[in-house]
Amino acid sequence: MKKEKTALRDALEALLDEKLPPAQVKSLKDGGYLLKKPTRKAALAISIYEKAVSGDLSAVKELRSILSSETAGGTCGKAVLIIDDTGN
């Protein structure tokens, strides 16, 4: 099962790293996005961003999840609950 997941991940990463077709690059450029490396990954990021900006909460949460995992060194952080048990 692990080999299958790794193979699927590798295939998805390869697909996302492919260059965008010229028509999609033009569409993004017309939308105001100037990309140095126009890949499918970049187009996906723009799509998630646009949904988040339009108010789609699931897209906002996804962006937050992606960005927090990137800044935390690839690990998702968990909330910490601090309990004041000193009796003040």
pLDDT single digits (tens) 11-60: 999 999 999 999 999 999 999 999 999 999 999 999 999 999 999 999 99
**Residue-range domain boundaries for the chain:** 2-71
Q: Tokens representing 33?
A: 């996005």
At 16 the three-state DSSP class reads: helix
Contacts of 46 (CB under 8 A, 6+ apart): 28, 31, 33
pTM attached to this predicted model: 0.69
Sorting pLDDT into bands at 50, 70 and 90, what band is 79?
low
Whether residue 28 contacts residue 36, with contact meaning beta carbons closer than 8 Å, is answered with: no
pLDDT above 70 (res 72):
no
Given the structure tokens 């800044």, which residue do they identify? Answer: 71
